[in-house]
Amino acid sequence: MTCKEAALRAGDYFEGWLTPSEVAQIDAHLRGCEKCRKYFEQTRQLIDAMHQLPRSDTYSPKTRARIIADFDAYHSVPRILGIPRIGVLAAAGVMAVVAVAVVLWVARIRTERPVAIQVVTLDLTDRGPVRGPEEGPPKPRLVLPRANMDLTIYLPFGREPGLYGLHILRERGRPPIWSGEAEARLESYKTTVHIRVDAHRWKAGQYSLGVSAKGSSWTYFPLVVK
C-alpha cells in the first residue's frame, strides 16, 4: 500500500467504513511510515473535533408547520396514481370522447356501401347553336343520375376533337361543384368525351353543364340531376 492509497482512505478508516482486511493493510502501512502516522493522527483529531460539533440544525416551528400542512394539503385531494382525481377524470372524459368519435368514424367508413358505377351518355350532338329558327320537336331534357358514373358525352356537331374543359354548376356565376378536363376524340363520326363523374352526393335539381374547347368560351347546357 502506498502513502496515497492510505491517506485517501483516512476518513473512512476513522469513520469505521473499511473492511477488516483494509484496516489491517493500513495498520501495517502506518507501522512503517512516520509521515502517514503524523497525517492519520491529525486526521483523527480533525474528525473527532467535527464529531463534537453540536447538532443544532433544526427547522423553525413555522417551517415545520408548513411541511406538515403541505402533506395534509397534498393528501386531502383525492388522487389516482398520485394525480388529482379530478384531473384524471377530466383526462379520461376527453379520451373517452375521442375514442367514441374514432369508433364512429371507423364504423361509418366500414358500413358505407360501395357505390356502383353507372354508364351514362349525354348526347349533345343536335344541341349546337343553330342559325335561324329552331325546327323540330322540343328536345328532351338532359338528365344525370345521382350516382357515380362513367360519363360519355357526344359533343355538338361541328366540335373538333381536342382537349376540352368541362364543369357542372348549380347556378351560372357560382363556382362549379365539379370540373374536369378530357380529350375529345372522333368515335363513329361523333366527337366524344369520356370522363368519370361522382355525383352520388349531389342534390337533385337543375344544373348546367359547361363545355369549352381549350382556350375558347364556355357553352352551357341545362341539366337535371335526379
Binding site for another protein (CB under 8 A): 2-5, 7-12, 15, 17, 35-36, 38-39, 41-43, 45-55, 57-60, 63-64, 66-68, 70-72, 74-75, 81-82
Q: Which is nearer to another protein, 9 or 167 (CB)?
A: 9
Q: Which is nearer to another protein, 32 or 215 (CB)?
A: 32
Q: Which is nearer to another protein, 9 or 159 (CB)?
A: 9
Q: How far is the CB of 63 from another protein (least distance, A)?
A: 4
Q: Which is nearer to another protein, 55 or 201 (CB)?
A: 55
- What would the 3-class secondary structure string for the chain be? CCHHHHHCCHHHHHHCCCCHHHHHHHHHHHHCCHHHHHHHHHHHHHHHHHHHCCCCCCCCHHHHHHHHHHHHHHHHCCEECCEEHHHHHHHHHHHHHHHHHHHHHHHHHHHCCCCCEEEEEEECCCCCCCCCCCCCCCCCCCEECCCEEEEEEECCCCCCCEEEEEEEECCCCCCCCEEEEEEEEEECCEEEEEEEEECCCCCCEEEEEEEEECCCCCEEEEEEEC
Q: How far is the CB of 40 from another protein (least distance, A)?
A: 9
Q: How far is the CB of 6 from another protein (least distance, A)?
A: 9
